[in-house]
Structure 1
Amino acid sequence: MVFSFSATPDFDFITQFARHIQATLHAGVLEMPEQLGQGYIRKLAFGPDFKITLHHYLLREELVINRKASELGNELITVFFYNNEQPLGIAYDDNSQVLFSRHDDSEAAIQVTSNDLSSTIRFPAHQYIHYVVVAIKPARLKELLAVSNPNSVLQTITGSGNSFLFFERMAAETSLLLQKITAVDMTDNLSSFYVQNKVQELLYLVFHKLSLRESAAHQPINSADADRLLHIRKAILRELSVPPVLRELAQRAAMSETKLKQLFKQTFGATIYTYYQQARMAEAAFLLKHGRHSVAQVGYELGFSNLSHFSRLFEKHYGQNPKKFSAS
């Protein structure tokens, strides 16, 4: 099933999607028809410039959501929270697909974007989908944040006419908040008030992290750039035993080395090599905890010829050496 829409500020996803699948809305809730699957989509509005949509369903067929760019510039900020255990695909080009899977989805599970970027999201069939979308206009977000001296990231997001894409990792605290929001009893008279407060707490966690990023001149980004960045990220994560070579990545991305370095750090919050090392250590932690691998096996599998160097680097990231971490 394919659903396409243009990301204009006044677009109402749940209403248009209900028409697309020929279903009926009841008090802001769309129950999935039995022939399509089970679950629901729920919308809550906290005014004309601030709303949240909760997606919680299992479908009998793959769902592809094509979000077409608005031509109005940054008139709406969209924050996506992908809280799925199973892989999902996201792309900024109709002809490509990048999967978020086990060892990398938590690192890019939160996406903050302007509404002038196109995207394609593929949700797999026969698997529960949990994702939340917060849509807020720049002026309302700026009022909520009330930052007296914002860094360049917050200035870009709350400013006018900027094209941007930022990814953040899904921390445990954020995941727990999403679970609380999804589990709210909406028959309670104060449920909307409760959810609004929790959503603002959710936004605090995201924008607090973004506020700590290095303040640097913002580089404009378009859908083609965004798609190339996802493919570069995927290439880095595909073979964690081999350090990335900037020249080769730049050629693959059809970008200059300078542009790739700038856009990658801007989008993911770390340099290419730092991002690689963080992912490498996260994979090491996973293998030590769940893979029943020895420290030596993990080190060699991730390309370390010197196990002492591996241990020092791991301890720097996790506060314990690999042996203690594995046993804890």
Structure 2
Amino acid sequence: MKNINQRILKYAAKVGLSVEKDFQHFDIKFFEAYDFLPDMAMHFSSFTVKNNFTRTTSTSAIINSIGFLFYNIVEDTITSRKTRRTVDTPYVRIFPFAIPQQIHFSKNKQVTHIAISISTDYLKTLLQEDAAHFQYFFDSANNFLIEEIMTDDILRTVNDIVKKEEPAVLKGYYYRVKALELLLHLFDSLRKREKPAHQKISDHDIKAIYQVRDKISSSIDKPSSITALTKIAGMNEHKLRGLFTQVFGMGIYDYYQHLRMKEAARLIRDEKLSVSAAGYQVGFENLSHFSRVFEKHIGKKPKKYSSEVR
């Protein structure tokens, strides 16, 4: 543990992170870090949370940098039901380091994540002519927060980074390429979003949007009314719908349906439920309707998905 801490401190000092005070909250299993300064840095780790804790992100030594956090999206096909209950909800989050972000950790939760920080100038050179599509990343007057859905390509690359045995030589080169590959798949997914007008988002807005998201995800077998959600958010319907789509890349109802289908897929894959049982458990009574919605969000009909994962 002491050696791990020293590696974290050495890396943190180089990239401008403040983490030493956070050690008391985590039982760290592994920590690896690679800096490609002055343009980019990446670290990945796994730990168990000792107590409820909220961490506020600090600034970065990488000038005008953007953070990409791939949180708890490491696939583990042998994870037990008991263990899954101790794992926090996965997400991919993008934010400017200039705007502090609060990341909440719950006691006894298991966390595995990858964090990449990259300068906006370097990101522009990578995106080249496509940079115009992501102008909200580069507008210094714009406060933004983006969460994106995990794709199979992202998941596969994450596992290449975290779970595969590291190369014996050219490790730095390997992980730099993998970091760029991860960003490639993420931006390919982001590119498919509609191009909304991005508005500034305040700390209060962020908190409200996540309260709405938590409410939606807490009852996926039954949708929450828009009236209830606007009360939770403390904002009118127009603003709520706009900010929710801006952050999550889809409307409130589509997001709700996506969560239902991800859970249905998990029930079929991990719990070995039949298609009809999985559909019923996430609130569907009409199997044909369930099949259409499942195909829209998962990319294949549930019976075909079931035959492939068994």
TM-score (norm 1): 0.73
Match of 1:267 in 2: 247
Higher relative contact order (CA 8 A, sep 6+): 1
Work out which of the residue numbers 283, 286, 304 in structure 1 matches 2:284.
304
Match of 1:175 in 2: 155
For residues 147-181 of structure 1, the C-alpha deviation after alignment (integer angstroms, 9 at most, x for no partner) is 24622xx1011232321111112223222322322
Identical-pair percentage? 30
Match of 1:278 in 2: 258
Deviation at 1:58, TM superposition (A): 4.8
Answering whether residue 1 of structure 2 is matched by residue 12 of structure 1, we say no
Match of 1:79 in 2: 68
Answering whether residue 118 of structure 2 is matched by residue 118 of structure 1, we say no
Q: Aligned letter for 2:127?
A: L
Work out which of the residue numbers 31, 46, 65 in structure 2 matches 1:56.
46
Tell me if structure 2 keeps the 8 A contact 1:52–1:135: yes
Match of 1:92 in 2: none
Tell me if structure 2 keeps the 8 A contact 1:103–1:282: no
1:1-328 counterparts in 2 under 5 A? 12-13=16-17, 16-18=18-20, 20=21, 37-58=27-48, 61-62=50-51, 64=53, 66-67=55-56, 75-83=64-72, 105-106=89-90, 109-115=91-97, 116-122=99-105, 124-125=107-108, 127=110, 129-148=111-130, 150-151=132-133, 154-182=134-162, 183=164, 185=166, 188=169, 190-318=170-298, 321-328=301-308
Pairwise CA RMSD of aligned residues?
3.4
Q: Aligned letter for 2:43?
A: T
Equivalent residues, number: 283
Deviation at 1:260, TM superposition (A): 0.6
The change in CA–CA distance for 1:155 and 1:217 in structure 2 (over 3 A counts) is: same
Tell me if structure 2 keeps the 8 A contact 1:79–1:113: yes
SS of 2:132's equivalent? coil
SS of 1:150's equivalent? helix
Tell me if structure 2 keeps the 8 A contact 1:250–1:257: yes
Tell me if structure 2 keeps the 8 A contact 1:119–1:223: no
Deviation at 1:81, TM superposition (A): 0.9
For residues 151 and 205 of structure 2, what CA distance do their matches in structure 1 show? 26
Tell me if structure 2 keeps the 8 A contact 1:174–1:202: yes
Tell me if structure 2 keeps the 8 A contact 1:117–1:223: no
Deviation at 1:254, TM superposition (A): 0.2
For residues 179 and 293 of structure 1, what CA distance do their matches in structure 2 show? 26
The change in CA–CA distance for 1:246 and 1:101 in structure 2 (over 3 A counts) is: farther
For residues 260 and 283 of structure 1, what CA distance do their matches in structure 2 show? 25
For residues 48-79 of structure 1, the C-alpha deviation after alignment (integer angstroms, 9 at most, x for no partner) is 231112223456x3373521576xxx932110
SS of 1:112's equivalent? strand
For residues 85 and 212 of structure 2, what CA distance do their matches in structure 1 show? 15
Q: Aligned letter for 2:19?
A: F
Tell me if structure 1 keeps the 8 A contact 2:72–2:88: no
Match of 2:81 in 1: none
Tell me if structure 2 keeps the 8 A contact 1:76–1:137: yes
For residues 116-160 of structure 1, the C-alpha deviation after alignment (integer angstroms, 9 at most, x for no partner) is 133033164484x32111111211211121124622xx1011232
The change in CA–CA distance for 1:269 and 1:103 in structure 2 (over 3 A counts) is: farther
Tell me if structure 1 keeps the 8 A contact 2:69–2:114: yes
Q: Aligned letter for 2:129?
A: V
TM-score (norm 2): 0.77
